[in-house]
Amino acid sequence: MIHPIVTFGHASLRCESRVVPTVTDEIRRLAADLIDTMHEASGVGLAAPQIGREAAVCVIDIPPDAEKPVCRAFNAAVPMPLVLINPEILATEGSQRNNEGCLSFPEIYAVISRPNQVTVAFHALDASRQTLTVQGLLARAVMHEIDHLNGVLLVDRMSQVQKLAVAGKLRRLKKEAKQA
């Protein structure tokens, strides 16, 4: 089922997600809805707070040809779409600076620094605890979605200068969220 995606200014984006105690059919349905909604919006990642839900669940789907060859090879074994339940960053390495967007910030992009590699522990859909190490765009997406589960948004990762550059767009989004 496809859900409306809430945008900047909506209170649910600032909530810290709740740990999922058991991976139930309801959680599996939520993951499927997140995947459908992400695909419908042509996004590469989506987190539960973006559809107004509190569970610590996020999904990612990076097309292989979007990655640099070296990262594509490193990430080759990762199944897509990737569902992360209760994800937790265990380690990061290196750094990358690239353009980043967010479905909750339509038309807003900014160059953001992040680690180039991340190791994350999470529960999979079958409730098993797993660990993954990924690089490049996929690592960026994992960290961006985990930020969402902590109530941290793209705007929080932007410099003052970057924020000033999109101040008008941010104001408009906030105003729209208030009226919704």
Half-sphere exposure of 15 (CA within 13 A, CB side): 17
110 is an interface residue for Zn ion by CB under 5 A:
no
Q: Per CB under 5 A, does 59 bind Zn ion? A: no
Catalytic site residue from 16, 100, 107, 145: 145
User: How many other CB atoms are there within 10 angstroms of residue 9's CB atom?
Assistant: 19
Residue 23 or 112: the one with the smaller Cβ distance to Zn ion is 112
Q: Find the shortest distance in angstroms from Cβ 43 to Zn ion.
A: 8
Dihedral sign, Cα of residue 156, residue 161, residue 44, residue 138 = negative
Rule CB under 5 A: is residue 149 a binding residue for Zn ion? no
158 binds Zn ion (CB under 5 A): no
40 is catalytic: no
Q: Which is nearer to Zn ion, 50 or 135 (CB)?
A: 50
The answer to the question of residue 6 lying near Zn ion (CB under 5 A) is: no
Q: How far is the CB of 140 from Zn ion (least distance, A)?
A: 11
Does the footprint of Zn ion cover residue 48 (CB under 5 A)? no
Tell me which residues in 83-102 interact with Zn ion (CB under 5 A).
102
From the number of C-beta atoms within 10 Å of its C-beta (0-12, 13-18, 19+), residue 179 rates as exposed
Closest CA to 7 of 98, 82, 99, 104: 104
Q: Is 155 in the site for Zn ion (CB under 5 A)?
A: no
Nearer to Zn ion, 44 or 74 (CB): 44
The residue among 104 and 135 lying less far from Zn ion, judged by its C-beta, is: 104
Query: So which residues are the catalytic ones?
Result: 145
Residues that bind Zn ion (CB under 5 A): 102
